[in-house]
Amino acid sequence: MASIIGVASSPFPTQTSHLLPSRSNSISSLIQLKRDSVRRLLLLRVNCSSRQVGDAETESESKVVLPDTSADTGISAYNWCAALGGIGFLETSYLTFLKFTNSEAFCPVGDGASCGNILNSSYSAVFGVPLPLIGMVAYGVVAVLGIQLGQKSRPLGIGEANGRLVLLGTTTSMAAASAYFLYILSTKFTGEFCPYCLASVLLSFSLFVSSIKGLGFQEVQKDVGIQLLIVLLVVSTLNNSYSDSQPTNTGSAMAEMEYFTTEITSESTPFAISLAKHLRSIGAKMYGAFWCSHCQEQKQMFGREAAKLLDYVECFPYGLKKGIYMIDACQEAKLEGFPTWVINGEVLSGEKKLSELAALSGFDMKEELTEAK
C-alpha cells in the first residue's frame, strides 16, 4: 500500500508543477503584448505629430515664399523707374545747359525752328525757373528712389513705405504737368513739333505707370485723394505762372511775322566806334525787337561798324507768332518798350542820342584819345 500510494501520489505534484508555469507564462505574454501595443501606439502618435509639424513647416515655408514673388515684381518696376528716370535726367540736363548758355537745340526730327520756338517760349519757365531745370531735379529724384527701392534699402534716409509714396507723388506731379503741356502744345503751337517735349511726356507717363505697378493697385487706391490733390496743385501752379508771365500788349495785337534783319546803311564815326566799345566794356545792354523801327534808328545812329560792337539783345529771335513771346532775358529785365538800355544797373527806355549815352555811361572821348596815344 505504501508503495502504491507513493507511486500514485507521485504524478499529482508533477502535474501541478507543469500546469503552474504554463499559466504564468501566458499571463506574462499577455502583459508583454499590452506593453508592445502601448509602445506602438506611442510611436504612431509621435509619427503623426511629426508629420503634422512637417506639414505645418511646409505650409509656413509656402507662405513665406509668396511675398518674395511680389517683391520681385516690385523690384522690376522700380528698376524701370531708375532707368527711365536716368534717361529723363540726361535729356533735361542737356536742355538746361542750352537754356543757360542761350544755345540752339539740335532737333533730329522736323525743322530746328519748331524746337527753338517751343523751348524758348514763355512756357519754358515756371515763375522764372527754367522748366528743364525743374524736370532735371524731378527725374533725378525718381532715379535715386528707383535704385534704392530696387535694392530694398532706405530711400533717401526714409522708410521703404514712405519712399514708395514719395515716388508715387513725384511721378503723379510729373504726369499731371506733362498732360498740361501736351494740351499747350496742341492748342498754342499748332503745326509745331518738339521731339524733346514729346519724349518727356512719354517718360513721365511711363514712370507714373511703373510707380503704380511697384506700389500695387490696392495701395494706390488708398491714396487716390492725395494724388488728386497733387494734380490740382500742379495745374493751379502752372496756370498762375503763365497767366502772370504772358505780356498783355507785346505783340498780342500785332500780326504774325517771321524774323528778319534790317541792314545798317550809315557809316560809323570814330566817336561812335569808341562809344560802342566803351558801352560793351562796362556791360551795357541794348534790348530791342526786329520789327521795332526805333531800334533800327538807334542802330543807324551808331553806324554799321559800331552797331556790331554793341551788346544787343534781340527779344524776338524766333519771330512774332501766337504763343511766342519775349525770351527770358527780356522778360527778366521788365522792359516797358523798345529800345531799352540798361547801363550801370539803370533802365532807360527809348532812343538815346550818342552824347546822352556817353554822359550816362561816363564816357570821355578826350580820355579815350589820350589813352590811345
DSSP assignment of 195-260 equals: HHHHHHHHHHHHHHHHHHHHH-HHHHHHTHHHHHHHHHHHHHHHHHHHHHHS-SSSSTTSPPB---
| C-alpha to C-alpha distance for 69 and 299, rounded to whole angstroms | 72
Which contiguous run of DSSP H or E holds residue 348? strand 346-349
Sole residue written with cell 550801370: 344
Tens-digit pLDDT profile for residues 316-360: 888 877 666 678 888 888 787 899 999 998 999 888 999 999 999
Lowest-confidence segment of 12-16, 153-157, 264-268, 277-281 by average pLDDT? 12-16
| C-alpha to C-alpha distance for 258 and 118, rounded to whole angstroms | 15
- Note the pLDDT of residue 29: 60
C-alpha cell at position 168? 508715387
Mean pLDDT of the chain: 77
> In CATH, what class is 70-243?
mainly alpha
- Note the pLDDT of residue 50: 46
C-alpha cell at position 53? 509639424
Nearest to 283 by CA among 245, 239, 313: 313
Each domain of the chain, given as residue ranges in start order, spans: 70-243, 270-372
Lowest-confidence segment of 57-66, 94-103, 123-132, 149-158 by average pLDDT? 57-66
Lowest-confidence segment of 40-44, 73-77, 151-155 by average pLDDT? 40-44
Mean pLDDT of 51-78: 48
pLDDT band at 135, cuts 50/70/90? very high
| C-alpha to C-alpha distance for 157 and 148, rounded to whole angstroms | 10
pLDDT band at 191, cuts 50/70/90? confident
**Quick check: helix, strand or coil at residue 342?**
strand
pLDDT at 55 over 60: no
Lowest-confidence segment of 20-24, 88-92, 142-146 by average pLDDT? 20-24
pLDDT at 131 over 80: yes
Amino acid letter, 357: L
Which contiguous run of DSSP H or E holds residue 349? strand 346-349
pLDDT at 1 over 50: no
pLDDT at 2 over 70: no
Could you tell me if 222 and 168 are in contact, meaning their C-beta atoms sit under 8 angstroms apart? no
| C-alpha to C-alpha distance for 13 and 19, rounded to whole angstroms | 10
- Note the pLDDT of residue 245: 53
pLDDT band at 243, cuts 50/70/90? confident
The burial class, CB within 10 Å (0-12 / 13-18 / 19+), for 18 is exposed
Nearest to 211 by CA among 305, 77, 342, 79: 77
pLDDT, greater one: 96 or 193: 96
pLDDT band at 248, cuts 50/70/90? very low
- Note the pLDDT of residue 121: 77
- Note the pLDDT of residue 252: 41
**pTM of the full structure:** 0.52
- Note the pLDDT of residue 189: 78
> In CATH, what class is 270-372?
alpha beta
Max mean pLDDT range (21-25, 87-91, 120-124, 259-263): 87-91
Mean pLDDT of 240-265: 67
pLDDT at 182 over 60: yes
Mean pLDDT of 221-242: 89
pLDDT band at 89, cuts 50/70/90? very high
pLDDT at 308 over 70: yes
pLDDT band at 152, cuts 50/70/90? confident
- Note the pLDDT of residue 28: 61
Tell me the percentage of the chain whose pLDDT exceeds 70.
Answer: 71
Distance of CA 130 to the CA centre of its chain: 15
- Note the pLDDT of residue 327: 84
pLDDT at 24 over 60: no
Could you tell me if 113 and 193 are in contact, meaning their C-beta atoms sit under 8 angstroms apart? no
